Amino acid sequence: MDSLVQENGDSQASQADRQKDRSETGAAIEFRSVTKKYGSHTVVENLSLTIPSGKITVFVGPSGCGKTTSLRMINRMVEHTSGEILVKGQPNTESSPHELRRSIGYVLQQAGLMPHRKIIDNIATVPYLKNVPKKQARAQAKELMKTVGLSEDLANRYPAQLSGGQAQRVGVARALASESDIILMDEPFSAVDPVVRADLQQEILRLQEKFHRTIIFVTHDIDEAIQLGDYIAVFATGGRLAQFGTPEEILREPADDFVSGFVGRDRGMRRLTFASAQNLPIHPLEAQDTPWQKWQLKIKDGMPAGWETEGRTIPGGSLFVEGGTLRDALDSVLSSPSGWGVVVDRQGKAIGLLNSDDVLDATEEERYRRYGVA
Binding site for ligand ATP (CB under 6 A): 38, 43, 61, 63-69, 220
Cβ distance to ligand ATP smaller for residue 39 or 315: 39
| Residues listed for the chain | 374
Cβ distance to ligand ATP smaller for residue 66 or 127: 66
With CB cut-offs between 5 and 8 Å by kind, which of Mg ion, ligand ATP, none does residue 122 bind? none
Cβ distance to ligand ATP smaller for residue 118 or 220: 220
With CB cut-offs between 5 and 8 Å by kind, which of ligand ATP, Mg ion, none does residue 66 bind? ligand ATP
With CB cut-offs between 5 and 8 Å by kind, which of Mg ion, ligand ATP, none does residue 65 bind? ligand ATP
> H or E segment at 243?
strand 240-245
Whether the CA torsion 159, 164, 170, 174 is positive or negative: it is positive
With CB cut-offs between 5 and 8 Å by kind, which of ligand ATP, Mg ion, none does residue 43 bind? ligand ATP
> H or E segment at 185?
strand 182-186
200 phi and psi angles, rounded to 5 deg:
-65, -35
Stretch that binds Mg ion, among 30-38, 68-76, 251-259, 308-316 (CB under 5 A): 68-76
* Shortest Cβ 221–ligand ATP spacing (Å): 10
How many angstroms from the chain centroid is the CA of residue 354? 27
Cβ distance to Mg ion smaller for residue 43 or 170: 43
Question: CB of 115 within 8 A of CB of 159?
Answer: yes
Nearest CA to 227 out of 250, 201, 251, 194 is that of 201
Q: Which residues pair with 38 in a beta bridge?
A: 41
* Shortest Cβ 70–Mg ion spacing (Å): 9
Among 53, 68, 70, 180, interactor with Mg ion by CB under 5 A: 68
With CB cut-offs between 5 and 8 Å by kind, which of ligand ATP, Mg ion, none does residue 29 bind? none
Binding status of residue 70 toward Mg ion by CB under 5 A: no
Query: 89 Cβ partners below 8 Å, 6+ apart?
Result: 27
* Shortest Cβ 77–ligand ATP spacing (Å): 11
Stretch that binds Mg ion, among 63-71, 160-168, 349-357, 363-371 (CB under 5 A): 63-71
> H or E segment at 269?
helix 267-271
In our burial notation (b when 16+ CB lie closer than 10 A, e otherwise), range 266-294 reads ebeebbbbbbebeebebbebeebeeeeee
Stretch that binds Mg ion, among 50-58, 62-70, 251-259, 273-281 (CB under 5 A): 62-70
Cβ distance to ligand ATP smaller for residue 103 or 190: 190
**Between the CA of residue 230 and those of 214, 220, 226, 234, what are the distances in Å?**
11, 16, 8, 13
With CB cut-offs between 5 and 8 Å by kind, which of Mg ion, ligand ATP, none does residue 220 bind? ligand ATP
How far apart CA 257 and CA 243 sit, in angstroms, is 11
Nearest CA to 251 out of 235, 217, 274, 276 is that of 274
Cβ distance to ligand ATP smaller for residue 239 or 324: 239
How far apart CA 234 and CA 250 sit, in angstroms, is 9
* Shortest Cβ 43–ligand ATP spacing (Å): 4
* Shortest Cβ 218–ligand ATP spacing (Å): 6
Binding region for Mg ion (CB under 5 A): 68
